[in-house]
Structure 1
Amino acid sequence: MKKIKHIATALFLGLSLNSCQDFLEEDVRSNVSSEFYNTSEGFDLIVNSNYSQLREIFGNEPWLFSAGTDMYAEGRDAEPPGLSQYTQLDANSEGVAHLYSSCFRAIQLANTAIFYSETTEESPVKQNRIGEVKFLRAHAYFLLVQTYGGVSIVTDYIEEPILEFDRDSAEDVYSFIISELEESLDLVEDNMLSARVNRRAVEHYLAKVYLTRGYESFGSSSDFATAASYADDAIAGEGLTISFSEYWLPDTEYTIKPGTIFSVQYDESSTNQDPFKLGHMQSSYFGPYQGGSEIAGDAPYRTYTLCPTQYAINLFTEEDERWHATFMQEVYERYFDFYDFEDTSSLNVAHYYAAAWENSQQFENDYQTEHPEATFHSFGSYVPSINPNNDYQTIPVKKFDDPAAPFGEKTNRRDIVLARLAETYLIAAEAYLQAGNAAIGLQRLNVVRERAGVSDASPADFDINYILDERGRELLGEYHRWFDLKRTGTLVERASMYHYLIEPGNFIGANGELKILRPIPQSALDLNQNNNFPQNPAYQ
């Protein structure tokens, strides 16, 4: 494979040696000699910096993961119009460059670690660490190739900026990702309880990469079957042993909760130096504004963007445990009393958001008789397309709440879960369906439905749209949706059907090409002295 000398941002990266969790010992050093990185301690610090880069990728505004889909739309505050509505999407659009630059920084950190691995002293965990870094490099490339298509494959450690680089094909990038993950699989620990990258995490992502490549024109006819096999390896016969509600309760760290496979890790000790900048933003989205700093401690910060659409609300039925664990349907005068009081029966209710099965005048009358102090939001009235302009006018998503965090946009200290066992089951379901074995795929999907307390899906139900609906119920807000729609070729259809600001024509770009891939950022093109580096077709 061709090696090239620089990344698209044309930046020389100094190492940021911050830990990603208390198990990764925090030890920030500057002005150290390169010999230090040849020690076991120094090499571990480089590896830790690779984990820390995940915070930059996922800890900021989640536009590239969620905006412009069927499940989330802007409320009172506007989203970046290019990423959310496609009409103004171009190489200079707000938010387009973030993932590109942050992933290439992750790649350069990985290249640095792999470079020093050749000379650093041996240790019992050295090969494990190399496997972890190879996974993290592949993970960054997987984000890039899904979002932008083919990008530059960089494997060299960069000491000085080089401003000319080529673009590799998406097919080559997928081949590189799979090669890296397969190498990682033989190196990482086989320990499901490890907070580090372990064998199950690699198997989960191998399943997802093969599944995604299977939809591409260059995908292999066996990709779906291979994805199903890797997903089953990751499942390893384990069921979903705790309830959906228990999983999302902010009581313990996700790394020790059954079902967590891979997460971006945070804790109070790693953010207390500046809790308003070192936390993340996931809980700040997917819900309405509920007041400013004057209510600090009473309600969480919300941006009033990426609010659930009516389609997202309609996915749930009364018996589905995920409805009650995902949404804060009944908001008390002090929002966090939900977590602080075991018995809330005597508390005053500020707002109530009626579910579909409560859509009757009789229910509203009965509820308001019992809670005359509450503002009652009837079903269908609390989505951004209907009433986006005032506080509390869309339903809050509670599954990411961090009641102990300071009031602020970027203060959440809970992990950002990137992969968990329920999703592995859904990957297996999709892979088996596309491989022509719908019966086994349906079995995998129904494991997830059984845990949610809903009836099994039937063979007549089971198709790709049903899987996308199930992923919507299970994974709402978890930074998968844009990738799900792009992977399955349903982005244009579903976004324009369910997002109130998107029409099919919004996707039409240059020369009639569809804006499915995001554009290569103009900042990267401007720094590249290779004038033959192509932009994606819809933006040329």
Structure 2
Amino acid sequence: MKIKNIILIGIQVCMLVGATSCSDFLEEKNYSGQSAEKYFATAKGYETLIYGCYADLKNIYNNTAYANMGQMGTDMFTQLAPLATNAMNQYISSYTSADGTVSGVWDNLYVTLKDINAAIERSSSVILKKDDKDGIDPDVLAQRVGEAKALRALCLFEIVRNWGKGPLMLTEPTSASKAAEYSDAPAFYNQILSDLNDAVAVLPVRQIGGDYGRISGSAAKHLRALVYLTRGYQSYADSKDFENAFKDAQDVYENSGHKLLDDYRLVHSQANEVNDEILFSIGFSTDGNFNTGRQYSWYTVDTREGWSGLTKSALYGNADPLCAPTKYTYLLFDWKKDRRAAVTFMSPLNGDPATSTDGKSAGKNWFECTEATEQFAKGDKVVYFPVPLEDDFKYWTEEDKAAVPYTVYNYPTGTPTDMSEDEYYLNCYQVNDARSRRTFLSVWKFKDCNPVYDEYGNFTGTRDMYIFRLAETCLVAAEAAVMNNDNANALKYINKVRERAARHALEAGLPLYQGTVTLDNILDERALELLGETPRWNDLQRTGKLVERALKYNWDITHITGDTKTLLTEETYRNKFCLRPIPLSWLNSLSNGQELGNNQGW
């Protein structure tokens, strides 16, 4: 019983469509014969405004712009091209306020805020059930407003942690505005916490049955913990921010009814995506109008071009890779003792339909021939990635490689900062129509069971996107405990995640954390547990570790910079790169854009 379709009706929103067969969250209706104002005042009409708030989240999170902004230029992900530069990844001079990725996320956040504010403001005009048969139950109305406030807090949090300031939009725009004003970060945080306090007070602890897919009190409390945690590092922090972050995270873990699943594989099994660990997710439907999930393609190799025997095929679906894991990412995983390695990447586990995250065999650690050639029959091994989980795992010599018809790329060895090995994935690439892309062991935990190849590049994923889950709650609690000098609780909560990672692994013995837990321990564990799920850039930004870890582990930042060099230093981070640029396109649309100015350094 889950929500898969969330779509919107309305004059200032979109058109209402669709529903699922197993949930009453949405119903398929046609209300075009009723005036908008009267319709939105009814229970069903008001629900469509709320549905639209959820639908808008897809424009934010199911979007390459958000993924790029969250992962590029970090310790865990780097660019696809081994010879060219990526301004956001390398922090070079071509990264400016005109960047389309940054403006895309900004625009989507403010469009979503507009619709959320419409839902909140119009709640005062909704007919109550006691007065009219078409009215809404007062308790239900209070919950819907609580949902909208939690979603508004989420959007405002994305704005403040990335840009540090912006228009604090809290009302529904009724006309186009040519002028704007900024509110500072403390004002944003005050509003975010006010909205979340209101939401937690009225929302059910969990959303179940026909309401699964709505944001719950536990999800709102998880977000509040993350908000407290993030503000706690700032100069304007409240003295109790870290304490409050820990209390909220602890409460969600102890009292929400959510629990860590026994097996990390089950967390990411598409057949089990409605599970006790998920606090909040964005759902997609098998209906043709809603199967637009794209996450599965962002961290995988493009198999459509550049390889003999690999063609445009539904086996792997449309490829839209954004970035490649760094060498550090691969070396961080213990394949035999940590279950997460086999689940996260292409592996024998993901090549077995009985255990793979998508229930199919395409996730094995080799790409199979999709169209017969003189060299390969359909189904043959074309590109092979040996992984430490295999019984016959070895380092392939040049002689070994020459003895087989397929291409072999060895698993990375050595140290994260040594890129001299010819075998390292980021030094290996195929040429596609005069373009080059790296070839690497793909992240597979997001793989979708329903991809098809579409010549026009349309995406057909139906896998849910996890926004918050309980494992992250534990790591938020652990980080807050570190910052609150509470090492006992830091150990307790980081090891809850670690203990689950050891279960069902090939070998026993994954070490638990002992001694003093550090921020680097937290960041490593977040990488292992949440790779690609949460914006890594914000984790490094929050903890003040971006420069140290990005320069140390993302080799491209200091070695592939074209005619320029990276501008990233501790000083430039403080004076520029700690925040995103306010989009030039937005500033240019305003009559007072020049007066408003940009963030420092931009």
TM-score (norm 1): 0.87
Q: Whole-Å Cα distance in 2 between the matches of residues 496 and 13 of structure 1?
A: 48
> Which residue is 2:300 aligned to?
287
Whether the 8 Å contact between 1:355 and 1:379 is mirrored in structure 2 is yes
1:459 aligns with 2:514: yes
Distance 1:73 1:30 in 2: 48
Which residues in structure 2 correspond to 1:527-538 (within 5 Å)? Answer: 527-530=589-592, 531-538=594-601
> 1:263 aligns to what?
281
The DSSP-based 3-state class of the residue aligned with 2:595 is: coil
Deviation at 1:70, TM superposition (A): 1.0
290, 300, 303: which is aligned to 2:320? 303
Q: Does the 8 Å CA contact 2:487/2:516 hold for their aligned counterparts?
A: no
What is the CA distance between 1:245 and its match in structure 2?
Answer: 0.8
State which of 393, 399, 410 in structure 1 corresponds to 2:445. Answer: 399
Letter in 2 for 1:15: V
Alignment partner of 1:33 is 2:95 = no
1:179-206 deviation per Cα after TM superposition (whole angstroms, max 9, x unaligned): 1111111121222533211111011000
For the 8 Å contact 1:300–1:401, the answer to whether it is kept is no
Q: 1:361 to 1:80 in 2, by over 3 A?
A: closer
Instruction: Give distance in 1, aligned partners of 2:411 and 2:473.
Output: 32
In structure 1, give the amino acid aligned to 2:159.
L
How far apart are the structure 2 equivalents of 1:55 and 1:79? 30
Instruction: Find the aligned partners of 2:556 and 2:170 in 1 and give their Cα distance.
Output: 41
CA displacement 1:391-418 (0-9 Å, x = unmatched): 7821111101112222255322111111
> What is the 5 A alignment of 1:3-82?
14-18=12-16, 22=20, 23=23, 24-25=25-26, 26-27=28-29, 32-61=35-64, 62-76=67-81, 81-82=86-87
Say if 1:108 and 1:157, in contact at 8 Å, map to a contact too.
Answer: yes
Partner SS state of residue 262, structure 1: strand
Deviations 1:114-161 (A, max 9, x none): 111001012231111000000111100111111111111111221111
Is residue 91 of structure 1 aligned with residue 97 of structure 2? yes
Distance of 2:85 and 2:174 partners within structure 1: 35
Within 2, Cα distance between the matches of 1:382 and 1:511?
Answer: 33
- Corresponding position of 1:107: 113
Deviations 1:342-363 (A, max 9, x none): 9x99x85444323468899956
TM-score normalised to structure 2 length: 0.79
Deviation at 1:78, TM superposition (A): 8.9
SS at 1:127 equivalent: helix
CA deviation after TM superposition for structure 1 residue 296, in Å = 1.6
Q: Is contact 1:308–1:383 with CA below 8 Å preserved after alignment?
A: no
Q: Distance in 2 between matches of 1:536 and 1:13?
A: 34
Cα 1:332/1:432, change in 2 over 3 Å = closer
Deviation of 1:304 (Å)? 4.0
Counting aligned pairs with the same residue, the percent is 25
The equivalent of 2:141 in structure 1 is 126
Q: CA deviation at 1:334?
A: 12
Shift of 1:490: 1.0
Measured after TM superposition, the shift of residue 469 of structure 1 is: 0.5
- 2:385 matched residue in structure 1: 353
**1:180–1:533: structure 2 CA closer, same or farther, 3 Å change rule?**
same
Does the alignment pair 1:175 with 2:198?
Answer: no
Letter in 2 for 1:423: E
Instruction: Compute the RMSD of aligned alpha carbons.
Output: 3.4
What CA distance in whole angstroms lies between the structure 1 residues aligned with 2:360 and 2:106?
A: 41
1:83 Cα deviation (Å)? 2.0
- Residues 1:362 and 1:296: Cα distance change in structure 2 (over 3 Å): closer
Instruction: State whether residues 432 and 441 of structure 1, in contact with CA within 8 Å, keep that contact through their aligned partners in structure 2.
Output: yes
What is the aligned counterpart of 2:249 among 231, 234, 246? 231
Structure 1 match to 2:540 = 485
Letter in 2 for 1:42: G
Does residue 386 of the first structure (1) align with residue 391 of the second (2)? no
Distance 1:133 1:230 in 2: 20
Evaluate the alpha carbon distance shift between residue 362 and residue 229 of structure 1 in structure 2; reply closer, same or farther with a 3 A threshold: closer
- Does the CA contact (< 8 Å) of 2:200 and 2:217 recur in 1? yes
Task: Note the alpha carbon deviations across 1:320-373, whole angstroms, 9 max, x for none.
Answer: 10000000035999999964469x99x8544432346889995648xx79x956
Q: State yes or no: 1:243 paired with 2:305.
A: no
Is structure 2 residue 567 aligned with structure 1 residue 506? yes
Partner Cα distance (2:282, 2:184) in 1:
29
Give the conservation status (yes or no) of the 8 Å contact 1:336–1:403.
no
How far the C-alpha of 1:389 sits from its partner, in A, is: 3.5
**1:105 alignment partner AA:** V
Q: Distance in 1 between matches of 2:125 and 2:426?
A: 58
Q: Hey, what's the Cα distance between the residues in 2 that align with 1:77 and 1:334?
A: 32
Task: Say whether residues 1:215 and 2:276 are aligned partners.
Answer: no
2: distance between equivalents of 1:70 and 1:288?
Answer: 19
Match of 1:9 in 2: none
Q: What is the aligned residue count?
A: 519
Given candidates 202, 213, 217, the residue that maps to 1:187 is: 202
Sort the Cα spacing of 1:18 and 1:478 in 2 relative to 1 into closer, same or farther, 3 A: farther
